[in-house]
Structure 1
């Protein structure tokens, strides 16, 4: 089965990547990687920036592409700030 082979390859890749980076299952569990979908629904992210098309960003991590394009077009990031 092609699907079965792909699934096994993915599992092997995950385990190899974990071993290469020294990550344990306990560490993944502690960060919430195995949380149920019901618990994840309750973890709401606060939107700090939003555009007219509905793109949103919580201000964490890298600036999303839609906001980078706006900045390159000389729009202020404050224009997209949600009050």
Structure 2
């Protein structure tokens, strides 16, 4: 996005926020709260339903596990304890892979 378009968007958002009585601090607090909530998510389905692993298991997850799906299938990457993650990893360090995230890494082989 070029700088002029960005500045125009910022000005538009500020006008809309002023119109509804919203302050930048309100927006910052809401974003921070959402980030904290997302960090606590341990399980998520394809529809965006989430569960932090506390309290009773939600109905969507109960139904899926009753149907034979494993709980690990819904686990959010990064929510596991580091020891458990390290145990499952192979001996290869893929963190320095120059093709990670590119088409070359996901192209079908054959």
- TM-score, structure 1 normalization: 0.49
Quick check: which has more Rg, 1 or 2?
2
Normalised by the size of structure 2, how large is the TM-score? 0.37
